[in-house]
Structure 1
């Protein structure tokens, strides 16, 4: 039996990549994309290594073998996980037992901390090095998680520069690898090309609405977002509204919510995917809180961040935050550079008022573009190479 590995400075020599197995687990599409980026950096160094565990189609492009469908783990919301707990826990235990028997060179948890940190803790205690990518947002809420992270993680990969100091102070080996999205979005945005691609006039006044990709987000956000669009049209009939849909299920849920709210008269062009193009084409974006807010900032676009959820969840979660901001652009800038309207404040009239300022305040729009450009440069690294280099160091390659 190998001696326990307390941190990434303890390495195990590997004869060749053919002898190597690396396990990974991603629990939702964003983690699948994140892990795939890492695998794209690892595969050239480890051409014959076996990558396996739980993942999705993006990871499969790099020869990843998934033992369970990733959507078995994809549950969002504090209360939604309860009826699925036994199934998810069973998958975690089965994967743990498999990895303890196999003893891979390391385990990499791609985000999804509720599942991965518990698994990592057990694997690390057994001497299997663990890497977690990306760092949980302990700077925003649930800071007590750092105690679990210390026990669970051999090496942390973070995507925001300020996170390095947090983990380093806690004694967790850490690497800042840049944010993968900063590489996907051009620093200079061609708004005209995006509009031509979507068949929009280049001189149109375009508003992109993004109420979320999860069913729960569409359920709670759609009526308020489309209601705000109706009010904005009363101020400017020339406005064009577009909304990227993550899939057919999301499209149908969106249409259902619009019909239930009696907002069928609001003309909105629904797009199949193409979220980056929809953002690039916009004059301003009404966006649900989450990673999409960073997408909008990287496109240098004015925005209003909004979010609604089940009332009980809101009452629970509203007391856990450590910062006055929930939107990533505001967190990174440490101030309200764009408005955030949450729960009861995310009403159609308040959203419309906030969006109107984003559309019409020219000096504010210019200032935002400058700040978001600086933010883009601060997040720009070759994340595939940086994250792969950190993993290779952990496994002694």
Structure 2
């Protein structure tokens, strides 16, 4: 007998899959907007803590989907395929009114295709980076999704040209984050001195990212402390398991003496309080840009995964702020360039170079304005139209 996800009867049943922390945030905002427009609604699928707090029923923990890279996925592939088949069978039996795949295209697009073929309306929220690599995916995405919800303005024209329904909804974070965040007030709230260097270290929300970036950032902090003896470091971790993992890394690197404050969640608070942020490439880089903080972007993958990805890239940069600005606004140190010495030097340069910091803040303010839409409401309208509500 197939298990039931939608135990509570509702006029509108919405299935969703959010594969990682950034998707959980988008899903939570969308749930709020859908509830406001259609109160008798139930949500189920796979989601994270923010979605669960709003009544979402998750078939498995979101953590089980949070894996990156071609090579890294291989060891987890049987489990991921089992999770997807199990969810497919459940949703085909329960027939939700609409399915929304939030990012995680490798997991969601095939699931969307199965459900679409069964007559269930499907949406994909967050376009894959078709403007950066593999633009031919636009057509295949249209085969899976009845509607694509685009966060960035340059995406919709690509789908329009291929005859795929797409809506530019902007990024919810652009409406949530203040245009001029108050660094001093945030430091007061966190009990941090106003007159010392504060650096935020964001090694990533996934365990696999911490494997590559956690120790690297700890050693970078050690070097920065030599240059700035009164510096403080903020490290927000997405979940309790990643917090425990970071603690193990501190032990391995014998770094308990470093002035590091760990936070569970509260990444925005850490960004706003910081002078400079060291961040792993991904959605978090956009969040840093919206808080108007100078940043250094870094990333490391297995050698084979990096070689595969590098050949497919169409742009000279990987960080979202640089992609959206169409130039190197902030430095990117990737793969073999990502060493503690080079990262510490780049962070220190941004901290000490007032002119460079001012230029970054000005560019990020313009970027913020370009993404500021009533995103969750626009996305909810498109979803309700798709579900014929």
> TM-score under structure 2 normalisation?
0.90
Is residue 208–residue 282 contact of structure 1 (8 Å, CA) maintained in 2?
A: yes
For residue 170 of structure 1, report the CA deviation from its aligned partner.
1.5
> In 2, distance between residues paired with 1:254 and 1:386?
38
- Report the Cα distance in structure 2 between the residues aligned to 1:154 and 1:219, rounded to whole angstroms: 37
Report the counterpart of residue 323 of structure 1 in structure 2: 315
**Structure-to-structure mapping, 1:115-264, within 5 angstroms:** 115-264=107-256
Q: 1:61 Cα shift?
A: 4.0
65-74 or 347-356: which moved more? 65-74
**Contact conserved, 2:21 with 2:238, CA < 8 A, in 1?**
no
Please identify, of 107-116 and 54-63, the stretch whose mean Cα deviation from structure 2 is larger: 54-63
Contact 2:202 2:280 in 1 (8 A): yes
Aligned to 1:21: 13
Inter-CA distance 373–126: structure 2 relative to 1 (3 Å threshold): same
Structure with greater Cα Rg:
1
- Return 5+ residue gaps in structure 1 as ranges: 1-16
Other-structure match for 2:5: none
Question: Per the alignment, do residues 142 and 262 of structure 1 end up closer, same or farther by CA in structure 2, a change over 3 Å counting?
Answer: farther
Query: C-alpha displacement at 1:229, in angstroms?
Result: 2.6
Between the aligned partners of 1:228 and 1:51, the Cα distance in structure 2 is 42
Shift of 1:216: 2.3
Contact 2:21 2:205 in 1 (8 A): no
- 1:217 Cα offset (Å): 2.0
Distance (whole Å) between structure 1 residues aligned to residue 43 and residue 207 of structure 2? 31
Instruction: Please say which of residues 61-70 and 214-223 is displaced more in the overlay.
Output: 61-70
Match of 2:3 in 1: none
RMSD, aligned α-carbons: 2.2
**5+ residue gaps, structure 2:** 1-8
CA distance in 1: counterparts of 2:45 and 2:220, whole angstroms? 44
Distance in 2 of aligned mates of 1:56 and 1:233: 35
Report the Cα distance in structure 1 between the residues aligned to 2:328 and 2:251, rounded to whole angstroms.
34
Deviations 1:270-302 (A, max 9, x none): 333322111111111111111111111111111
Change in 2 beyond 3 A, CA 1:246/1:35: closer
- The separation in 1 between residues aligned to 2:367 and 2:349, in whole angstroms, is 22
Distance 1:237 1:104, change over 3 A: closer
Q: How far off is 1:18 after superposition?
A: 4.7
- Whether contact under 8 Å (1:181, 1:295) holds in the other structure is yes
CA contact (8 A) 2:71 2:302 kept: no
Query: Which deviates the most, 294-303 or 44-53?
Result: 44-53
- Write the distance in 1 (CA, Å) between the matches of 2:78 and 2:237: 31
2:82 to 79, 90, 114: 90
| Partner-residue secondary structure (3-state), 2:23 | helix
Q: 2:35 aligns with which of 37, 43, 46?
A: 43
Assess, with a 3 A threshold, how the Cα gap between structure 1 residues 361 and 320 changes in structure 2: closer, same or farther.
same
Deviation of 1:265 (Å):
4.9
- Do 1:219 and 1:254's aligned partners in 2 also have CA atoms closer than 8 Å? no
Of residues 113-122 and 24-33 in structure 1, the stretch that sits farther from structure 2 once superposed is 24-33
Q: For 2:127 and 2:94, how far apart are their aligned partners in 1?
A: 26
Range 37-46 or range 267-276, more displaced:
267-276
Deviation per CA, 1:337-388, whole angstroms, max 9, x where unpaired?
A: 0000011101122112211220111111111111111111111122221101
CA distance change for structure 1 residues 222 and 395 in 2, over 3 Å: closer, same or farther?
closer
Q: Which one of 346, 369, 386 corresponds to residue 354 of structure 1? A: 346
Whether the 8 Å contact between 2:66 and 2:206 is mirrored in structure 1 is: no
Alignment check: 8 A CA contact 2:199 2:278 kept: yes
Structure 1 residues 132-154: Cα deviation after superposition (integer angstroms, max 9, x where no partner): 11111122223332232121111
Q: Is the 8 A contact 1:43 1:62 kept in 2?
A: no
Say whether 1:371 aligns with 2:386: no
Gap change, CA 1:31 and 1:272, over 3 Å in 2? closer
Counterpart-to-counterpart distance in 1, 2:124 and 2:351: 40
Verify the 8 A CA contact 2:174 2:372 in the aligned structure 1: yes
